[in-house]
Amino acid sequence: MAVASQSEKAAAFRALHEGDTFVIPNPWDVGSARVLETLGFRALATTSSGFAFTLGRLDGGATLDEVCEHVRALDRATSLPVSVDLENGYGPNPEDAATAISRAAEAGAVGGSIEDYDPSGELYALEHAVERVAAAVEAARGVGFPFTLTARAENHIRGNPDLDDTIARLQAYERAGADVLYAPGLRTVEEIRAVCEATTKPVNVLARPHLSFAEIAGTGARRISVGGALAFAAVAAFASAAEKIRDDGDFSALGASVRLEEWLA
């Protein structure tokens, strides 16, 4: 495994956003990160829900200290750029978002996202949300390498699927200096295209089972992530095999073939 500096990883990650549409998968632990690197992906993003599961918790249940240790482990285990899901920045204030960015960079990340939803159950008012993004941008510009900041508008996964408001938020985050824009939960090609056409920064899209790579790429989106879906695809297979053992004494699922020596070489 070639060893690249953090600055080199940051530059490589930034360059990906200047080329064709690419997939950034979301490992949930070191083993899954190693597999994804071996399979040829060019960058990784953490998943808050997948990582929380490894701790036996629901999404939002990990602390900033735990997330930074997770980032550090992923960064050491692979040669790929790592971007980190920093949720709301682990606090409601602009300085919380800034601290989360700085801490993630110190742990080895070359990118990270800040969202506009508070765990208490509310979306931040636009002015406050913009202040948080601006603080995160300032922190990102101060880490000494080109840290790629993603600003997330959470409307569509938080009970407020208002596309006009989502676009207005993303446009405001772009003006505040965000490098990448992301509205998880967009469901159709038309919604994704509307976001891409209304903004000038690269747009990240959360993959949907009913949309192909070609369909998403055709909207103008630059980056496609999978969130916790890969983690829970693995969990679902595990639980299904365990249920067959429990209910039917059926061990057939244990014959699955895995290429560990190849993936973890």
What's the pLDDT tens digit per position in 102-137?
999 999 999 999 999 999 999 999 999 999 999 999
Specify whether the CB–CB gap between 114 and 149 falls below 8 A.
Answer: yes
The pLDDT tens digits of the residues spanning 30-67 come to 999 999 999 999 999 999 999 999 999 999 999 999 99
Say how far apart CA 218 and CA 192 lie, in whole Å: 10
Q: Is the confidence at residue 98, as pLDDT, over 60?
A: yes
Say how far apart CA 163 and CA 155 lie, in whole Å: 8
Q: CA-CA-CA-CA torsion for 60, 66, 70, 72, nearest 10 degrees?
A: 140
